[in-house]
Structures are given as structure tokens and as C-alpha cells.
Structure 1
């Protein structure tokens, strides 16, 4: 019973969490990884075995991934980047026919998450307030611009003066003009949500962002409070949702007014904090999809509150490396 974490990059903590939990149930089980360049991936060096694959956008990616799974007794695939989600969702049945379970939500939900306009409609349908999208002919400053299909904070802009706007902003149909949510008034949270086989919400861990580096949280604290009940009352069931979802919200510091921003249908880079507070998503995935048992809980909320995570760079040393 082996697990494969794809596009592992620097997700060392995620690999180590799966290694620890898998060996509890299957002492001989291995957690393997893939990446475009396994020699330069820290997570690939800490995993039990790693495989170099072509970029996700290449035609041969799927066949290469399936070959790795079949030759290494892989029973579960855990994706980690947005660009591979649509492909895995589309090819899910092909993996399942070989006894391999990709931890991926339905194709419809994955595509919705990748489209910021569609996820805004989803939020509104679930009574979650969103930042107003302006027409490019009628907007108010300050405003925030972001791409409809973006990730890692690429191509995002805070606009406070008209002279900051260029033809690129107006002519690029992928860019959305949005009401600016003032960071002096609102705090940003990334919430790790766990959905079981029946698409039912089993756990919510809000992580308040303190510092972000390269689009990934670098310092954060796990907090209970208004967000937990807000999400639980509105998103207790999501058709097609599976495993870990990472949802972003803003909450007003004084009034608890809440805005939904986006959802990513995968583990987020800051998930290790949720693991360390007791939200053991790797264990639950193993129980559900490798042991075929129900997660033994109705709803889990006994995780440690106010745990602060401060991330830092740690060396992975590779001997006899030749560039």
C-alpha cells in the first residue's frame, strides 16, 4: 500500500506526515514523490522513492504518471499544485480502474475552483459574501486586480491611483477588477477543510496569515472563532468535494464581517500547521481510501487552538551531486 505525492517540490512536512501515518497502518508502506526535477526537490529527497516526470502540460504526463503508479504498487495519489488538478479529475476513472485512488474532487468542482468568477457564484449560492467585481468602465479606487485563473499571487495588483492602470489591465479579459478589502481592517485566513467520501465537511482549521512568501504562508496561527461556525453552517456539504480543500477568507477585526475569496481543491502549503494542531487529514485519507472505513467522527473540532507556526529554511544535503 504505497502513496504517491505529485509535484512534491519543497513539501517536506507533507511527505513526512504521510510517511508517519502510513506506517501506523502499513509498516512496509512507502510514500513516494514525483517532480519535474527530482534532484532539486527537497521533498523528493526525503520521500522513500522519487520519479522524474515531464511537466503537467506535456501530452505524455498522464501515461508517465500511470506507469509509475502501476510499477510501484501505488494505491493513492495526492496532488499538490493547481495545474495538475483538472487532468487528474478528468482521468480519475482511468486510475480507479487500476485500483488507484487520486485524492481529487469532481471535475466539475475542480474546474469551478480554478475559475475565480465561478467560485464567486458558488459562494453567493451558499450565502457567502464576496468582494464586488467592477466593470472595467465603472470602478472605484482603491481596488484589487487578480487573474480569473491565477495562483501563487502571480499577476495581482493593488490599485490606489488611476495612473497605475495600464492598457494591459484593461485589455486582458482574464483580469478581474474587484473591491479592495482593506488589510488594516480585515485579517486573512486560509482554512483547511476536510470532506469525506460522502462530500460532508468533517473538520475546519482556520489559519490566520501573518506573513506570506512567494504566495505561500510563512507565519500563521491556528484560531477558532467566528469563521468555524460561518463555514460549517454554509459549506457543510459540497457536491463533489473530496479530501483536503484550502479556502481563503477575510474577516473584519472588530465586526466579524466575512468575505469568501477562493477555494483550492488540494492541500495548501500551510497545511502542516493543521496537522500539528491535530487535524490529521493524512490519517483520515488512509482510513477512508486504503482501509475502506468511515472516518470515525461526526465532526472533529478538538484541535489545539492558538498554535503559532513560524517556518524557516532547512537544508537537505545531497552528496555527490553533479549539475
Structure 2
């Protein structure tokens, strides 16, 4: 007898303990006894996998049998909702969304076209411009201006990103690397924001929470605060409908304190590392996903989240006994 498909699966869970816990809280409120599972390459060393109701070792996201593994797992364990968390798995999931749906499994992933655009920061810059959001200037390699910023067009979490103060800092390796793009340097007079936007099943934005990134560690926000001011006003209509959007999208941008300049860098069609602040502020994205995909409910527009809520992160531990 098949299990009821009310369980939730968090992919590549890693350190995302608070995301797993949020889904556990919201799932239990709607389906008492349902479980939140997690996958990881090494679940024994993943804190989030330890707090999940059960964890499974997954193959690498680039393995040919990765999606077969996931589908078999979902069918076997009664999973009805799957939430990805890392950039490298998004395109393959988008390509397999209908396949999973045919088996009653909802992959919360944007359309393939949008995911592809988000993976290439050159294309995502054009996407921003289409909806009227300003972006940093992208320099031609033979017409660089300094200082400038160099980064891989398909990079993630600031890996490979380098500030070039002068032409002397530029190397031949950077110039010869076809993946490197050269951007206008956004100086310290700008503030950095990550915006969590929620899009329903038909691509309509229902909520948007800007988070000021006050301190960043290893590419992830360590101190942040929710803001409902000029950034919210600037983006709320421009991002109202992003073609192919579904679930949680995170937008990164810089802005002058007075709102005189905005420069959007990238879109990530997944939960961001700082999402727990958005959830704490009252924007219940995990609960809305369960409502939409497991209960068939409509999600209403929501702007009643708490502004100026400060998050100060710290290192915590998960103890696992009996490990050799």
C-alpha cells in the first residue's frame, strides 16, 4: 500500500537546520505525523540531516542517476513536496519537474528558461533590465575601467569573485577565462540587500521581504535586518510577475542609502541562506508551499511581515552520539 504523499524532502540540506525546522513546524500544523526528510552527499556530517525526521545519502547532483534516485525516494517514502537549496541542482530539477508531477510529486522549481537565465549572470542582467531594474555596467574585456569587479558568470556564494582596484591586479588568466565577467565596482557608499520573493503556482508574486545584509561570512549573511522602505517600494511592482517564477526566489542588489541608485546583481530561484530571518518576520513561505502543493489552497497577498527585525547569527552545534 502506497504511503500518503504528505511528506516533504529538503535537498542538499547541509547546514540548513532552521529551514528543516521551519518545514517541520508548518507540516505538523497541517499534517500531524507527516515527516520532513533531507538528502545530502554525506548526511552523517550534515547538521540539517541530523535534525530532519530521516536523512538519505544522495548521489552527486551531476550523476546520471540523480533524478531517478530522487523520484524513487519520493515514491517510496510518500514525499509530495521537494524543495531544492543549491544552484547546481536547479536546472536538472526544472527539466524533470513534469516527470515528478506525473507521479504526484511537486518539485518547487521555476521554469527551465528562468533557471537557465539565473545561472548565467549575463542573461539575468538582461532579465532585470526587461522588468526595469537597474544593474551594474558590464565592461567589454577590451574596454575595462578600474576599479572593477570580476566574477564567474555562473558562480555562487561569491566564489571566484575578485575586486580589481587597478589594471595591475588584472591577470592574463582572468582575461583568458571565458566564464569571467567584468562589472562596474559598487563602492562602499552602497548597502547590500537580499530580497526573498514568494511566487505561487501560476507565477504571481504574493510576498516580498528585503533583508539588509549587515555582515556576511563565507558568502552567507551573518547579521541582517528586514527593511520595508525604498528597496521594497522600488521592487514590489517591478518583480510582480517574473516569467516562469515559482516558489522562493532570492534577489541580490545594492542601493544607495537614499535610494538614488540601485544595482541588481543576480537572482537565485531557491531558498537563500538568510531565509530564516524572513520566516521569523512572519513571511511563512514553507507553510504556503504546503498549502499550495499539498492542500491545493490559494495563497493570498501578504505584506504584514515585521520590518526592522534584526538577526544576529551565531555558531551552534548538533550532537550525534555513537559515532565511531
Instruction: State TM-score, norm by structure 1.
Output: 0.97
- Which residue is equivalent to 1:262? 266
Correspondence for 1:218 among 211, 217, 222: 222
1:174 to 168, 174, 179: 179
Shift of 1:165: 0.7
Number of positions where the alignment pairs a residue of Structure 1 with one of Structure 2 = 319
Q: Does 1:57 align with 2:62?
A: yes
Match status 1:45 vs 2:50? yes
Q: 2:3 maps to which residue?
A: none
Does 1:86 find its partner at 2:88? no
Confirm or deny: 8 A CA contact 2:231 2:259 kept in the other structure. no
- For the pair 1:119 / 2:124, whether they are aligned, the reply is yes
Runs ≥4 in structure 1, deviation > 2 angstroms? none
Question: Aligned with 2:317: secondary structure?
Answer: coil
Mapping of residues 1-323 of structure 1, within 5 Å = 1-182=6-187, 184-295=188-299, 297=300, 299-322=301-324
Residue 256 of structure 1 deviates from its aligned partner by 3.6
The answer as to whether partners of 1:126 and 1:235 remain within 8 angstroms in 2 is yes
Q: What does the per-residue CA deviation read over 1:168-209, in whole Å, with 9 as the maximum and x for residues that have no partner?
A: 110001101111011x21000000000011211111111100
| Structure 2 contact 164–170 (Cα < 8 Å) conserved | yes
Instruction: Answer whether contact 1:208 1:220 (CA < 8 A) is retained.
Output: yes
| Residues 226, 256 of structure 1: 8 Å contact kept | no
Between the aligned partners of 1:253 and 1:159, the Cα distance in structure 2 is 24
Deviation per residue, 1:240-259 (Å, 9 max, x gap): 10010000111101344211
Mind listing any 5+ residue stretches in structure 2 that lack a counterpart? 1-5
Classify the secondary structure of the residue corresponding to 1:194.
strand
Shift of 1:239: 1.6
- 1:270-302 Cα distance to aligned partner (Å, 9 max, x none): 00000000000011111111000101x2x2111
Q: CA RMSD in A?
A: 0.8
| Contact preservation (8 Å) 2:249, 2:270 | yes
- Aligned residues of 2:19 and 2:276 also touching (Cα < 8 A): yes
Q: Distance in 2 between matches of 1:130 and 1:54?
A: 37
SS in 2 for 1:91: helix
Given that 1:103 and 1:242 are in contact with CA atoms closer than 8 Å, whether structure 2 keeps it comes out as yes
**Partners of 2:37 and 2:259 in 1: CA distance:** 46
Indicate conservation of the 8 Å contact 2:199/2:245, yes or no.
Answer: yes
TM-score (norm: length of structure 2)? 0.97
Please give the alpha-carbon distance, in whole angstroms, between the structure 2 residues aligned to 1:161 and 1:131: 18
Aligned partners of 2:32 and 2:283: how far apart in 1?
22
CA contact (8 A) 1:194 1:201 kept: yes
Query: Where do 5+ consecutive residues of structure 1 fail to align?
Result: none
SS of corresponding position for 1:65: helix
Structure 1 Cα separation of the partners of residues 173 and 160 of structure 2: 11
